Structure 1
Amino acid sequence: MQPESEKILKIAQQAFEYFTNGLENGNWQDFIDMLTDDFTFWFPMGKFHGLNTGKERAKEFLEYVYEAFQPGIKLTSLHSITSNEKTVIFEFRDEGNLFGQPYKNRVAVAFDVRDDKIYGYREYFGSDGKSY
């Protein structure tokens, strides 16, 4: 049996793969399937600013993200992964177009894991000097 922290990391890495796939091509179903019914997420700005609750709200958010970044956004580098017994944080850079304007950014996303599912998500980002 693997230690709990390794199991948490593996689950979060799978969720992150599904998440970046959704960013790139709008296919969010695999990620949504990993969310708990009481899923919460925190986003730092815009229509979804602050704390949001539920899978339906998450679906709205993910659809909005994909629409904003048509034709998709790509992860360009993964800088670090930090984890503990319930949370895994991925720090990365991504780029694409945001509402038709060039976009590049540094991002950190945290996934909270419980019972092989993601029950919480938080996103933090900062501009690297380019438009976003």
Structure 2
Amino acid sequence: MTDSRPVRARRTLLAGGLGSAALFAMQARAGADAVSGNTPRHVRKVADRAMDRFDHGWRTGAWDPFLAMLTEHFSFWFPEGAWRGRHEGERGRRAIEEWARFHAENGNRVTGTRRSVAPLGGARVLYEYDTRGSSPSTEGYLNWETVIVEVRGDRIAALHEYWGNVPPTS
């Protein structure tokens, strides 16, 4: 009787090696579809398209292309004013539509420089801006802002905006 342990060990090693190679290949394919971490390229593409339309709305007052990308049930967070706080569902969708309409009708225009984009994983992407007023009604506006967008399919399901000018401590 021969000892079959070395044969079994080689088979186990070979099976383990092939399994590892297959796992590595699957991870490489998944990585090819990811921007960063576990954020799919599709999410980044949709989020970028929405934020390009958001920027266009601010520059021109034409918000309809941006609003067309929103889901029916929407999460909108804004830090101050009449729209301060978090608005969810159909109410969230109405709140951001009213917000956009208010800025369009009042001639409020701003120009933002997109400083960075950071995929947050899953369906969320964070945008960082330096923004300044570009119309008579916003001429004194100068701010740093972050906007988190959540993607669902080919639309966005959330826009949460955070900002503030914090004076230097010295």
Q: Which TM-score applies when normalising by structure 1?
A: 0.85
The percentage of aligned residue pairs carrying the same residue is: 27
Counterparts of 1:23-102 in structure 2, within 5 Å, are 23-53=58-88, 54=90, 55-67=93-105, 70-75=107-112, 77-83=113-119, 84-96=121-133, 99-102=137-140
Counterparts of 1:102-117 in structure 2, within 5 Å, are 102-117=140-155
**1:44-84: CA deviation from partner (whole Å, max 9, x where unpaired):** 1110011123322221011223455x351111x22110112
Structure 2 unaligned blocks of 5 or more: 1-31
Aligned counterpart for 2:163 among listed residues 125, 128, 132: 125
What SS does the corresponding residue of 1:93 show, helix, strand or coil?
Answer: strand
Q: Which residue type is aligned with residue 91 of structure 1?
A: E
- Return the alpha-carbon distance in structure 1 between the equivalents of residues 152 and 78 of structure 2: 20
- Return the alpha-carbon distance in structure 1 between the equivalents of residues 149 and 67 of structure 2: 13
Q: Which structure features the higher share of helix residues?
A: 2
Q: Which TM-score applies when normalising by structure 2?
A: 0.67
Structure 1 unaligned blocks of 5 or more: none
Checking the alignment, whether the CA contact within 8 Å between 1:106 and 1:128 is kept in structure 2 is: no
Structure 1 segments (4+ residues) deviating >4 Å: 1-4
Q: Which structure features the higher share of strand residues?
A: 1
Checking the alignment, whether the CA contact within 8 Å between 1:104 and 1:128 is kept in structure 2 is: no
Q: Which has the larger radius of gyration?
A: 2
Aligned residues: 127
Checking the alignment, whether the CA contact within 8 Å between 1:105 and 1:128 is kept in structure 2 is: no
CA RMSD of aligned residues (A): 2.1
